[in-house]
Structure 1
Amino acid sequence: MAKKAHAASGRPGPAADKTGRRARVIMAASTAAVALTVVTATANGAVAQTGTPGSDAPKRIGTAPRVPAGATVTGATASGTRLHLSVNLAPRDPQSLADFVTAVSTPGNAQYHHYLAKGQFASVFGPTRATIAGVSRALKAAGLAPGKVSPDGLSIPVTATAAQASRAFATGFRNVRLKDGSTDYLNTSAPSLPADVAASVTGVVGLSSVNTVTSHHTAARRAGKTSSGSATVSGRGSRTVTANAYTPALCADFTGSGLADGTDYYSPGKLAGTYGMTSSATVGAGQTVAVFELENVDAGSIAAYQSCVGTSTSVSTVYVDTTAGAGAPATDGSVGVESALDIDDLIGLVPGASIIDYQGPDAASATDQNVLDVYQRMVTDDQAQVISTSWGECEAVESSATANAENTVFAEAAAQGQSVVAASGDDGSSDCYRATGSTAKAVDDPASQPYVTGVGGTTMTGSGSSATQTTWNNDTGGTGGGVSSRWAPVVYQGGVATTTKRAVPDVSALADPHSGYPIYLQDSSQSSSPLPAIIGGTSGAAPTWAAAIVQANAGTACQANGQVGFLNNALYTAARSSYPTNFWDVTSGNNSTYATGFTSAAGYDEVTGLGSPREAGLTTALCAAKGTAATGASTFHPLSSPKRLLDTRNGTGWGLSSIPTTKPLVAGGTAPVKVEGVGGVPSSGVTGVVLNLTVTGTTGAGSVTAWADGTTKPSISNLNWTGASQTVAASATVKVAGDGVVDLSTNSTTHLIADVQGYYTSGTTGSKYTALAPARLLDTRSKVGISTTTKISNAVVSLKVRGHGGVPTGAASVVLNLTATQTVGGGYLEAYPEGATRPTASNVNWSATGITIPNLVVVPIASDGNVSIYVHGTSHVIADVSGYFSTSGSTFNTVTPLRLLDTRTTAALGSGKTLALQISGADGIPAGVKAVVLTVTVTGTTGSGYLTAFADGGSRPTASNLNWVQGKTISNQVIAPVGSDGKVDFYTNSTTNVIADVAGYIG
């Protein structure tokens, strides 16, 4: 991390103080004075390649730091240089931790707001004792003296000389002179550890003392000026702020300054009222909020502000890696300004809360290790429900070791129910500009961390209903925002931020110093007493959002249903459900501060995120009751015609309501699709949904995974394709959780369409399923079900269903496996009840000549007992029946999707061979089930062929479930009967690998 002083970090200006720090604070005039996502993993799709065993040789962890731009190497680091290090450990099961965080922070999930108890993290998710002991032994064997592991079990402290660390981690050290003239050291190679412990270590922090951490406050002189234009202060002696009874306004230092509240600055009351927050002397009572600081704070300045607003908020300090009074004193109008901004903002908005200032060493001398230590202490203490930080650094400069360690600590905070908000920076889209001089797009850490809520900045004028907000970007700086270079797309931004990585910020609030935050600061060159000032930056926006969360936590809904905790899952859910009610959209401006950046637009953007809070509506959304999803045996309800829920080509169901986008779903991206209450599906009680998924305009090989929102993304796929420019469809039966949303994710950029064919609900009002031995009802190649052998071209085929293939006269719907084969050009199939209007949704799609492609469909049967199949284009058509729904039969039960079979890990299924797959006992499936719902995939096909699934112990039917041509990867949903021994058989007439993923069972 090159050093930054305690500067106001805006655009460079013509004047600097004697240390080079930009002093741009608005001095308020008065009679006495004038005027800071474990998460990147992507689940393997059905056709992902398996890994290879690692080597036993020592392994390097992460990468070596780069010499900062403008710095020069000055020689080797003295061998006796003392290093403060930490060896950071991975959680015992990173995926389980990620899954738990998703569950406790997603509205509708049964675990919503059921957080870990204080001190519970280490025993539940921390590394095992054996892991900690093994790493400690390895460090001792390397000549180091590891200290006591942290309370959460995530880090082992080590103090060593450069010579000791060099031998232990097989790295050298060198000194560098930074462009500001200071000298630091850094390691020349990534640290090396024995292979048997390296897998448990996420990184070693502290091997470099180079850092670029800085506060994100900025300001501009604008009032109280002499004729020459310079700032003035009346009187350099001591002055007293007259104590006031509480009022959401301010004392005469501001009201008598000639500045207007709501125009030149925002008093706590005016700011709270504009954002729909509450103003009272006790608001926030019972809550604790913590602020992260790397500087001394002037207690007198905080006392002056409390006197001005009439508050008596409890403010305490916890010192981390430093002691009281150490570091630069907060007396020069620069040091302590960030701390004053953070604390005064919170005092004004939540005066009833308690504030803890977690203070580390001065930013000018702090290392990555110091920064990490402060965050970790804030989380392991678990005293504060909300954590606010207005400090950060350019993501591209931060070491991977530090980023990974922070990520785990913030995941720990989320698991405990702590909310973390962070300023997104004041250098627009060029967050690295001050650290490296680069104007390239970059974002700030920790605002870009997946488990942190990044807060951008706005310019605001007026108040109440007449207030307006635009993007903050002027001569004082601009809101940080953009796309992470480190973190993969996050599920909670799916359908809102259509970016290839995590997008920043998430939200925004007032940041412009021209209408900023009133504070007091100490400047001994002007006065011996604290001075009133107005300041801005995203450093003001972050604690404003922290205060909004504190107010929500203190309200009756959160008191009953649990504190907000990790904000982002609920935040984006609230945006999708009722955007204008919960957020104040900011639609004008950009963050092109040093170079072309991003532009504000309706809905989410990488400038102001979702916008500013509308507290009343947002509190309701964030403090929703703990969810309970419908469970148990289910019955089926077919739709008379498929309804389109998502189409990324035209914005249907995509992103925020009434704000469509025509962008494809990016690789690694997620599209949350609202199921309940849409397209004829009831608004509650839905346990599962049958979707027809279609990809079109593919950009390369890929797969789609569907799963219940707020639950773990499974390591399966529902639809696969093999190259660019393809159109492929597949059915999927997907569990629906408490919020009524299904998530769709792809590992390759493509347009995605989702049509609902029917749904399951608990109870007995729907139809039950009866499995049949698959039977062929239609084959245009051989006059089965039709009188000719001619390919069908742009015509409708009438298929007799009732009374055929075992389907009785009382059947309401039929399950057919439709296959298009020997295609000519592109085309599609549509199945629907005979006599009904032909739907706009398709069931089987192909994009070239010579394709063979299947798909399972559930079709209501017309009163005449028939189903119509429309062929658009030219193709032979095959239809095999595998079951039906009626008033008799068996109920359906959803399960957590799970991979039951993958022959790639053993041996391919040979031509003419049969494989028996155990179903009962897998994924909680009981004995005696009648049928199982599977997604079956063939890959690595060696020639054209087909696969048939049938009950073990029964006769192999002549019908097929999958058909393919050589070299293709094909998926299809299969509802297969289960034998009395609890097994399903797979037969293939051509050697291929077979994969089977379960979605539910019947019986």
Structure 2
Amino acid sequence: MTEHQFLGERFCMAKKVHAAPGRPGPAAGKTGRRARVIMAASTAVVALTVVTATANSAVAQGGTAGSNAPKRIGTAPRAPAGATATGATASGTTLHLSVNLAPRDPQSLADFVTAVSTPGNSLYHHYLAKGQFASVFGPTQATITEVSQALKTAGLTPGKVSSDGLSIPVTATAAKASHAFDTGFRNIRLKDGTTDYLNTSAPALPGYVAASVTGIVGLSNFNAITSHHSAVRSASKPSAAAGRSSNTVAPHAYSPGLCSDITSPFPGSIDGTDYYSPGKLAGAYKMTSSATAGAGQTVAVFELENVDAASIAAYQSCVGTNTSVSNVFVDTTSGAGAPPTDGSVGVESALDIEDLIGLVPGASIIDYQGPDATSATDQNVIDVYQRMVTDDQAQVISTSWGECEGVESSATANAENTIFAEAATQGQSVVAASGDSGSSDCYYQNGSTAKAVDDPASQPYVTGVGGTTMTTSGSTTTQKTWNVNGGATGGGASSRWAPVVYQGGIAATTKRAVPDVSALADPYTGYPIYYQDDARSTNPSPDIIGGTSGAAPTWAAAIVQANAGTACQANGQVGFLNNALYKAARSSYPTNFWDVTSGNNSVYATGFTAAAGYDQVTGLGSPKETGLTTALCAAKGTAATGASTFHPLSSPKRLLDTRNGTGWGLSSIPSTKPLVAGGTAPVKVEGVGGIPSSGVTGVVLNLTVTGTTGAGSVIAWADGTRKPSTSNLNWTGASQTIAASATVKVAGDGVVDLYTNSATHLIADVQGYYTSGTTGSNYTALTPARLLDTRSKVGIPTNTKISNAVVSLKVRGHGGVPTGATSVVLNLTATQTVGGGYLEAYPEGATRPTASNVNWSATGTTIPNLVVVPIGSDGNVSLYVHGTSHVIADVSGYFSTSGSAFDTVTPLRLLDTRKTTPLGSGKTLALQISGADAIPTGVKAVVLTVTVTGTTGSGYLTAWADGGSRPTASNLNWVKGKTISNQVIVPVGSNGKVDFYTNSTTNVIADVAGYIG
């Protein structure tokens, strides 16, 4: 079996998906391009999770699963603003459609993309081979056959499925399509006089195949795709004189500068101030400048226009290069469409290709050309992208074309999303211009000044590239946001895509933020190129062009140079950029990025302002190639280790506190904003707070939420791996302060991710960590025993509440804890509280820490939390109560030189009685542990996060080894109506089971985090 076959089998296993508790229920005018003015096909935009967008989320009413009843997929487009209906579409009108299929397991696809693109993951840079996607992640042959047969039954003639298995082409008349998809068609006349057609309702398919279809593209033929280049013709930027000499450009030897033929029309203009030659541009971004830069690499450009070969040749002659430029025609033929001679058609392709030639002359460039943008349909756009990816010839894909999200249909967006995910599995990087209309990307499509971003720059598996103004004076080069004379860098928050994990802690937005990075875009300081303009010359003429269309291929060139370097040659090409890109920002921001801190992208309405660190104007900033190459070309991952030993910290260390910026965002740029709903906070574990810089396999965290805004939950998991559907901490309303302990697996990059589905401040304190060596302590599980109960004089000679005082708790020699124990595992409970407060546990004799273990915010609270605390030299631990409360302490185990090692596992839900029947009052439930989530037989204890929700009254839960007597200690305590979670380390019976008992009817959820063997 090959490595890729193994990876495919590993990631194509169906995974169980469970809800997490907590709700409760845990989860400038464009130049050279005619811009059609159309209103967004105001399709109700579906909020889609990254590459998990299947037809299930888009299907409307109708039918039950597996039935023949039709189900609508997506929504119908609306007529553009100002358009008029002109009657029904002729029944004989030919439609070119694609029925786009969902991957066989969207979550496995998402997991694999995360794994292969995250430094430190064991699968980092272990990409799929060319042509392997269909067999690994594409829909099964049974699905393809079933959908094809359904189309045939509906009277259509499906074509051959695409090589990646993701789309079935269909050519049909409007009449046949109307019958097959239960929709009508009508013609509309746009403001510019163009006549198009659109479907009058969302397409329908039989219920038994609808879930396999993400959308049907091609049912309407209008689109608003445009290029993102910008030209300047003014006194401050003279253009070539009309009637310029028709002589061709004289050949020159390679130089990173430019020949006089291209600079002479701009007398007085300075390289680095008024324009940037390839050499100056490369120098500014710390890129290599040589005739062989990018050798051995291939970069592809997306175009919807004819390329002028004469212009490319003139540029190559001027800079002395001989870069290979070839063409692949998709849905069109060579020479079809408008000729590139009018100063409009061919400008975009000239900018893209000539920019790449100047920066990576040693690379090969493939121009993938579709029909002219003025006539291209969404289907044509999808066809070009799909061909670029399935050909898999280029390591980097650059596109400077796009349309605002509000215009694009969900069917098209979903199809693109899967294609770009496919590119990521193969190690292809995709960069896209973020647009030239500032924060109002839809302005030229529908006249809207509302905030909007551009597709595909906003796609989760694409690196969106914004624009800057750059100028050099002496030895100083400065950058600011590009916003000049009606043209400005696109940026903002997506209206479609959910927050992405890789932007967690950096982009505090409730949706995917755009752009990711930026580069030179201002045409006043832009790119000198050759293109055809028959109003000025019969031969290619020089001009200075800008727009984010120039910034995108500049970043493409930076990736090509990284791929060509020795590090990437040894460790694998960069591939999907964003996971590693944002990690590079967190680890060493000034080394890897040129921060852009001034300017805004307000053009047609108030937009966003540049600031230190990430912003929705220029993203992370421009590249510093030397540092980025090191970050993006890290070594391939290696397999994770197994059993681990524990190392307690003498005092808990705070790793994250969003209230004051501790551990939040870029290390040098703290933020005091709460974590947004749907947001992720990556927390560095290795190398922080006394934890080793490598070799850490797991960490014990005390998680606290405060200032909650509503019910919610927190999920903790290893960075670079799939976000689990389990939860670690849950709460039920606003203005709460609640803590819970969590044992979390640590991936190779030493980072754990914390996600919340409700806006809140979040605090993470580390209590200890696991390593794969034998130098730490092992765990011994005990039958839980009560060491302290201030309500009944257990462990203390009084039964009064503790108020702002320290309780000394005897541990060694009590409850089964031997004299050789170094740390103890206690379940602490605060109950009958008065007002707000907190509890801290620490080794007796040590300085009281600043981190808390149990938190409450109201009178009458009962709340537990599991803690791991080192034992003082006198055999005791101290419990400090801030506020007033009764305190209960139950011992469940200890760490020492004897005992057993610990293995972390990927969190998995083992029990959820909401799917069956609540656990009744006074009832016991036995849960099978051995054999679940690869837990072997013979394990001694298991680490679980146990949650109760839907509580019907006050109560408690006790967990113990099946076959033994129920202990008197409790693990969870609650009052009626609360959702409470707590970590439990419970012995496992000889039959591989643990028991749960509740004295009050409630739903019980159990998620496994690891086991002790």
Task: Normalising by structure 1, report the TM-score.
Answer: 0.95
Q: In structure 1, what is the Cα distance between the partners aligned to 2:474 and 2:106?
A: 45
Change (3 A) 1:126 1:21: closer
Match of 1:29 in 2: none
One-letter identity of the residue aligned with 2:809: L
Worse-superposed segment, 913-922 or 565-574 = 913-922
Q: CA deviation at 1:725?
A: 0.6
* 1:518-574 Cα deviation digits (max 9, x unpaired): 110111222111001110000000000000000000000000000000000000000
> For residue 382 of structure 1, what is the aligned residue in structure 2?
392
TM-aligned CA distance change 1:565 to 1:714, over 3 Å: same
CA contact (8 A) 1:40 1:487 kept: no
1:377-776 superposed matches below 5 A: 377-462=387-472, 466-628=476-638, 630-776=640-786
Q: Which of 196, 217, 220 pairs up with 2:232?
A: 220
* Contact persistence 2:959–2:970 (CA under 8 A): yes
Per-residue CA distance 1:211-256 (angstroms, 9 max, x = gap) = 000000011114588xxxx855153552210110000000112343
- Residue 795 of structure 2 aligns to a residue whose secondary structure is coil
Residue 921 (structure 1) shift: 1.0
Partner of 1:174: 186
Change (3 A) 1:538 1:900: same
- Show the counterpart of 1:919: 929
Residues 451-510 of structure 1 show CA distances to partners (whole Å, capped at 9, x for unaligned) of: 000000000001795100000001050000000000000000000001000000000000
Structure 2 counterparts to residues 752-831 of structure 1, below 5 A: 752-831=762-841
Aligned match for 1:251, one of 252, 259, 266: 259
Relative to structure 1, is the Cα distance of residues 832 and 144 closer, same or farther in structure 2, using a 3 angstrom cutoff? same
Query: Is residue 2:250 matched to residue 1:239?
Result: no
Q: How does 1:829-868 map to 2 (within 5 A)?
A: 829-868=839-878
| 1:925-958 deviation digits (Å, cap 9, x = unpaired) | 1111111000000111111111111011111100
State the partner residue of 2:81.
69
Structure 1 counterpart of 2:708, which letter? T
Q: Distance in 2 between matches of 1:465 and 1:779?
A: 71
Contact 2:51 2:110 (C-alpha < 8 Å) held by counterparts: no
* Cα contact 1:819–1:852 (8 A) shared by 2: yes
What SS does structure 2 have at the residue aligned with 1:763?
coil
Residue 39 of structure 1: aligned partner: 50
Match of 1:150 among 134, 149, 162: 162
Does structure 2 conserve the Cα–Cα contact (< 8 Å) formed by 1:819 and 1:844?
Answer: yes
Counterpart residue type for residue 277 of structure 2: S
- Could you say which residue in structure 2 is the equivalent of 1:32? none
* Contact 2:49–2:497 under 8 Å retained in 1: no
Q: Which residue of 1 aligns with 2:12?
A: none
* Equivalent residue letter for 1:233: A
**Does the CA-based 8 Å contact 1:202-1:405 persist in structure 2?**
yes
Contact 1:715–1:898 (Cα < 8 Å) also in 2: yes
Q: Distance in 1 between matches of 2:240 and 2:816?
A: 94
Deviation at 1:879, TM superposition (A): 0.3
- Does the CA-based 8 Å contact 2:51-2:418 persist in structure 1? no
Determine the C-alpha separation between the residues in 2 that align with 1:284 and 1:503.
Answer: 30
Over aligned residues, Cα RMSD in angstroms?
Answer: 1.6
Decide whether the 8 Å contact of 2:717 with 2:723 is kept in 1.
yes
Contact 1:798/1:867 (<8 A) preserved: yes
SS at match of 2:110: helix
Shift of 1:176: 1.4
Q: Per-residue CA shift, 1:250-305, capped at 9, x if unaligned?
A: 01123433221111110000000110000111111110000000000110000000
Gaps of 5+ in 1: 1-9, 23-36, 44-51
Further displaced range: 52-61 or 870-879: 52-61
1:88 to 100, 104, 108: 100
Counterpart position of 1:948 = 958
Percent identity among equivalent residues? 85
Tell me how far apart the structure 1 counterparts of residues 678 and 648 of structure 2 sit (CA, whole Å): 31
| Residue 889 of structure 2 corresponds to residue 875 of structure 1 | no
Report what 1:3 is aligned to: none
- Normalising by structure 2, report the TM-score: 0.94
Look up the match of 1:188. Answer: 200
- Inter-CA distance 463–107: structure 2 relative to 1 (3 Å threshold): farther
For 2:246, give the aligned amino acid.
S
Query: d(CA) in 2 for partners of 1:647 and 1:747?
Result: 17
Partners of 1:479 and 1:224 in 2: how far apart? 21
AA in 1 matched with 2:419:
V
The secondary structure found in structure 2 opposite 1:467 is: strand
Q: Deviations over 1:743-800 (max 9, x none)?
A: 0001111110000000001111111111000000000110001111111111111111
Q: Aligned equivalents of 1:737 and 1:912: distance in 2?
A: 41
- 1:344 maps onto 2:354 in alignment: yes
Deviation of 1:331 after TM superposition, in Å, equals 0.5
In the TM superposition, residue 658 of structure 1 has moved relative to its aligned partner by 1.3
1:627 Cα deviation (Å)? 2.3
> Contact conserved, 1:508 with 1:610, CA < 8 A, in 2?
yes
**Structure 1: how far apart are the matches of 2:475 and 2:130?**
42
- Rounded to whole Å, the distance in 2 between the matches of 1:107 and 1:94 is 22
Residue of structure 2 in register with 1:358 after alignment: 368
Q: CA deviation at 1:71?
A: 1.9
Deviation track 1:131-184 (CA, whole Å, cap 9, x = no partner) reads 000000000111111000000000000011111111110111111111222111
1:593 and 1:146, CA in 2 relative to 1: closer, same or farther beyond 3 A? Answer: same
Return closer, same or farther for 1:465/1:955 CA change in 2, 3 Å cut-off: farther
Distance 1:518 1:353 in 2: 20
* 8 A Cα contact 1:270 1:463, kept in partner: no
> What code does the residue aligned with 2:183 have?
T
Moved over 4 A (4+): 16-22, 40-43, 52-55
8 Å Cα contact 1:427-1:479 kept in structure 2: yes
Question: Using the alignment, how far apart are the partners of 1:417 and 1:388 within structure 2?
Answer: 14
Q: What is the rounded CA distance, in whole Å, between the counterparts of 1:803 and 1:815 in structure 2?
A: 14
Question: What is the DSSP-based 3-state SS (H/G/I as helix, E as strand, rest coil) of the residue aligned with 1:600?
Answer: coil
Whether the 8 Å contact between 2:277 and 2:527 is mirrored in structure 1 is yes
Is residue 113–residue 562 contact of structure 1 (8 Å, CA) maintained in 2? yes
Whole-angstrom CA distance in 2 between matches of 1:475 and 1:607: 17
Does residue 126 in structure 1 map to residue 124 in structure 2?
no
> Any idea what SS the aligned residue of 1:818 has?
strand
Maintained 8 Å contact 2:131/2:390: yes
Alpha carbons 1:218, 1:476 under 8 Å: kept: no
Distance 2:794 2:539 in 1: 96
Distance, in Å, in 1 between the alignment partners of 2:51 and 2:350 is 36
Farther-moved stretch of structure 1 (448-457 vs 915-924): 915-924
Q: After the TM superposition, which of the residue ranges 478-487 and 77-86 deviates more from structure 2? A: 77-86
Cα offset, 1:628, TM superposition = 2.9
Determine if contact 1:274/1:464 at 8 Å carries over to the other structure.
no
Matched, 1:896 2:902: no
Q: Summarize the Cα distance change of 1:386–1:511 in structure 2 as closer, same or farther, 3 Å threshold.
A: same
- 1:141 paired with 2:153, answer yes
Letter in structure 2 aligned against 1:248: P
Unaligned runs of 5+ in 2: 1-27, 38-47, 55-62
Q: What residue identity is the alignment partner of 1:822? A: Q
